[in-house]
Chain A
Amino acid sequence: MFSSNKIFFPILCIALLFSTTNQVWSQSIEKQTVLAALTLNIARFTTWPELTFKKPESTFNLCIYGDNVVQQSFSNIKDKQVSKRSIHIINISRLRNLNQCQVIYISELERNKLIPLLLDLKDKPILTIGENMEFLQAGGIVGLENINGKIQLTINLAIIKQSQLVISSRVLKLATIVNYPIPNN
């Protein structure tokens, strides 16, 4: 065998040395938590067409495509309200029944699946939110991208116009506006 001291002790020393220099990292907040809070806030500044909710007691359906880490971050907002309606979080792991959603949050999806998905949703009053520019280029509405430790908000105006949704100017003025039409052919 080998002498454990020879290995453990240097590692411990190195770890102690660097643990102080790295502490500044943890003053910040986990990205996924901020993304969930942003999703809620942007939804609160968005108006859906009148016929979206069939009944007065209909819930506000926030659909999520993502792993358990993403799901957990959204579980923090499940007791909140949007447009005086209580939020119902739906995991759309199989990408089915999308018409029930008012918001679709897509954490990560291969590009070749993303394009047809967003093509299907283009005229529907569904606020689509993704995590990068590729999502907007594929026809998504809101992009929340982590750029050097801060979330940058980008809104695709071309798709918003087709979707009959109205996003408040208070949010629009904080966003970078782009115009990516739905990819055709």
Chain B
Amino acid sequence: MHIKNNQLKLLLIYFLSLSIYSTNANSDHNELIDFSVEDLLNIEVISVSKKAKSLNDSPAAIFVITQNDINRIGATSIPEALRLAPGLDVSRIDANKWAVSARGFNGRFSNKLLVLIDGRSIYTRAFSGVYWENNDVMLEDVERIEVIRGPGATLWGANAVNGVINIITKNSADTQGGLLIAGGGTEEQGFGAFRYGGQLNIDTTARAYIKGFKHDESTLKSGGEAGDDRDKVQGGFRLDTQLSTKDNLTLQGDAYHSHINQNTTLPLLTSPYQSTFNETIDSFGGNLLGRHQHIYSPTSEHTLQIYYDFYERDEAIFKESRHIIDIDFQHRFSWLNWNDLIWGVGYRYNHDDFSKNDVAKANPSSRNDQLFSAFLQDEITLINDSLWLTLGAKVEHNDYSGFEAQPTARLMWIPHHQHRLWGAISRAVRTPSRLDHDISILVRTIPVDPQTTIAASFVGLPEFNSERVISYELGYRTTFIDNVSIDFTSFYNEYSSLMSSTTQALIPNPTTGFTDAQTTINNKATTTTYGFEVAAVWQILDWWRWDANYNLLKTKVDNKFKNDLSPQQQVSLRSIMSLKQNIDLDILFRYVDSSTAVGIIGTTHIKDYVSLDIRLAWQPASNLELSLVGQNLLAEKHLEYRQEFITSATEIDRGMYGKLAWSF
């Protein structure tokens, strides 16, 4: 960067004057105590964002994205909001697909990150991962998104190997009245949403919403339109009722229908042996969830949650449908005044159906799976208000890998209210998916000579076992400087029985007439990753905040481990300004290091990139907001990731949109 000397001086003087100025505001606090009640009630008070000062009390690498953050970054989808969290690798594959992971192992089928929306898992057994394009919420009704890096298996369950994302929507009591959203632009061609919340009786509130959007196609790396545009309509509701002073009931549900376009390349069994065509994936689904909470006392409560979830996707390679029923019970209580215990049991039933075609086959094509789980966690107070030890374990039985145990031990030390120190050792597993066990995919057909055609396929292994990690974490949080908070986490992860593959010898197949070249998977890979993540917040002035994140990820690569290499370093810098009380200017700058994406067709090198998003918002009235958002402004297009299979490398275009939000 070429900032000239005098500009640098100017910047320095400006920042210095601001910091001196902002400390002044805090000097006269002690005198306040001698004021009378009357005087205190007449003082003009300000409540600046607490973000720069508050420290989280969890013995885990947690980062919270608030509703305000989501709105002020101009996010139009959940993954875009996740870009605010440190240590997450959020890569856009094309206009409709995302690859999201924490601490490495990214991919479209990234399988080590568990994601929940209001307690409902959106991690699918089909391939162990998340169909980000299927799952959405009314973003304005999100209360917060908790991003937990590192194993969270004890509380949340299997597959929370490298992290858990908890999307929590607001209670319907907090979304009363109407909200109308409308907007459009170059990439986000058009979007709209309408929500209305009302009070049904003195104890019951509810809301319903409907939203829809149309997203433009991106650009192929090789040039030309990528044919990956999509549209979606989604609706839903939430009802919260207070059955008694100690009983709460929540009912909620969503349904969606989406058309996802993609430019698909699949092998053919006859000449020309490969076909590329535009297809429209028909994708729809829905869910219904009920949760009853009974509170015995401030330290004791139980929750019973039941949900049903289904989705269907019809695409050329597969037609898949899946139905899930899940029942969870949790009980929390305090014991002997120095233990906070939480235990629970869970049951999940999965029913799926896969279509068969020349390219992909699931054997059996339909499967019913059950998952039983039980967990116990105890937070032991070792020193009152300063030292806590948390011990816990989850045991579960699934139909793919049998019994799995996932224990954790965590220590939290608060030596002073401005400092937090924590450490953890945990074991977690990624349980096998349908893809791992039962699915074979024809990858390529290669004519060698008129008599011989090689059929290269990827074949699942019914004996494929869980992938495992032992994770060591150490974290420190502080606000020792006024209006600055720093959250630092380091980790060391040892993975074993990771997926690797071997290619079998060529075998002529008399039934098909092809020569089979099968790649089968096994559990032979191991690796180690380590690194650290820093999240800093500086409230420079009442109306101006800076957030800065940095993470370093090192992955040991040897002949035992060949996998996607996630970006080693990521930097994000965010400036949050309220220029006037009704004008906001927000800027997000990101640097993402180079990475590689390993696909069935080969390895794609992804160059490092920088991106800049800017949002300017104006509130002409307290219930009306107009905003203008520019995304990926620094380049006309750039590549963030390449899907493993089916589609070509697709670059993300620069985009602009305008938005109106009117509440009434």
Contacts and interface: CB of A to CB of B under 8 A. Distances in A.
Q: Which of A8, A22, A90, A152 has the most CB of B within 10 A?
A: A22
A41 B55 contact: no
A85 to B, nearest CB: 16
Interface in A6-23: 7-9, 11-12, 14-16, 18-19, 21-22
Contacts of B32: 29, 33-34, 37
A51 interface: no
A117 B57 CA distance: 21
B47 A146 contact: yes
A37 B340 contact: no
B1 A28 contact: no
Contacts of B248: 112
Interface stretch (B158-166, B182-190, B460-468, B572-580): B572-580
Interface in A103-155: 111-113, 115-117, 119-120, 146, 149-153
A1 B53 CA distance: 34
A69 B32 CA distance: 17
Contacts of B242: 112
A68 B385 CA distance: 12
A113 B294 CA distance: 10
Interface stretch (B19-27, B280-288, B514-522, B555-563): B19-27
B46 A15 contact: no
B337 A97 contact: yes
Interface string B30-45: 1011011110111111
A80 interface: yes
A12 B33 contact: no
Interface stretch (A54-62, A71-79, A156-164): A71-79
Contacts, number: 182
A98 B385 CA distance: 14
Contacts of A151: 40-41, 43, 45
A67 B46 CA distance: 18
A41 B33 CA distance: 8
B73 interface: no
B544 A15 contact: yes
A15 to B, nearest CB: 7
A183 B245 contact: yes
Main secondary structure of the interface of A (DSSP, over half): helix
Interface stretch (B2-10, B91-99, B355-363, B399-407): B2-10
A93 interface: yes
Contacts of A98: 298
Contacts of A111: 173
Q: Which of B244, B297, B337, B580 has the most CB of A within 10 A?
A: B297
Nearest to A139: B245
A14 B543 CA distance: 13
Given A18-B579, A94-B340, A116-B246, A26 B334 contact: no
A30 B33 contact: no
B610 interface: yes
B391 interface: no
Given A26-B46, A42-B37, A149-B44, A184 B245 contact: yes
B106 interface: no
Contacts of B541: 19, 22, 26
B297 A116 contact: yes
B298 A37 contact: no
A119 B21 CA distance: 45
B45 A120 contact: no
Contacts of B418: 68, 72
Given A31-B46, A116-B245, A149-B45, A12 B37 contact: no
B120 to A, nearest CB: 20
A152 B30 CA distance: 21
A172 B330 CA distance: 44
A28 B46 contact: yes
A169 interface: no
A2 B3 CA distance: 12
A121 to B, nearest CB: 10
A174 B297 CA distance: 34
Contacts of B4: 5
A76 B542 contact: no
B293 interface: yes
B299 A96 contact: yes
Nearest to A45: B37
Contacts of A41: 35-37, 40
A72 B14 CA distance: 29
A55 B418 CA distance: 33
Given A67-B55, A69-B53, A116-B246, A28 B45 contact: yes
Given A30-B45, A68-B417, 9 more contacts: A18-B543, A29-B45, A34-B45, A72-B53, A72-B418, A91-B385, A120-B298, A146-B47, A151-B40
Interface of A: 1-5, 7-9, 11-12, 14-16, 18-19, 21-22, 25-34, 37-38, 40-42, 45, 67-69, 71-72, 75-77, 80, 90-91, 93-98, 111-113, 115-117, 119-120, 146, 149-153, 170-171, 174, 183-185
Closest 7 pairs between A and B when the two form their complex, measured CB to CB: A28-B44, A95-B298, A31-B47, A4-B1, A31-B45, A117-B298, A37-B32
